[in-house]
Amino acid sequence: INAIVFGMWQLAPLQHLMEKYFVHHPLSGRMFTLLTSVFSHKAAWHFGFNMFALWSFGGVVYRMFGKEQFLAFYISSGVTSSCISHICSLMFKNWKNIIGSLGASGAIFSCLGACAIKYPDASVYLIFLPFFPIKIVYALPAVMAFDLYGIMSGKTLFDHFAHLAGASFGILYSKYGQEQYRNIQ
């Protein structure tokens, strides 16, 4: 789905429709974009980085949960991250500075959070320290601190709220969600 949506972004005649239906603008009133924006990547670097991260962490979570539970986890975490970002954008940002949000980062951060709980001794490489392996239980708080700094300083390079919401979702789901999922089966 991500690749198809990315391909659609590359077609100039579709730009207006993509912006309208695959970017979540908190002031637009189009709540369905809380879901569609999770599969949307406009820039090649954004698509490439997120798909590499999804391949790296999503595969582990897929093996942990299985197909159906992974899909439920991924979509739920993506929509939850979008919702938290939506609420925080309206609460904490200057109305003139509210921009649209897109990408799988919230869902990917959920995968990172789930991996950190399940495999705390696993090592990962961070993009800003690519040659130094770091235990995931240290890497996750480091990237969450980076996002918190982005929020507190107002230097929003990314959707920091979605990242933090996603990581929190992954941690909580790994600790408590699997049992709840089994109970509704």
Burial degree of 134 (CB within 10 A; 0-12, 13-18, 19+):
middle
Query: What tokens were used for 11?
Result: 């077609």
Residue 109: HSE in the Cβ half-sphere, 13 Å Cα cutoff: 28
Partners of residue 24 on adjacent β-strands: 101
Q: Write out the catalytic residue numbers.
A: 105, 163
Task: Find how far residue 125's CA is from the centre of its chain.
Answer: 18
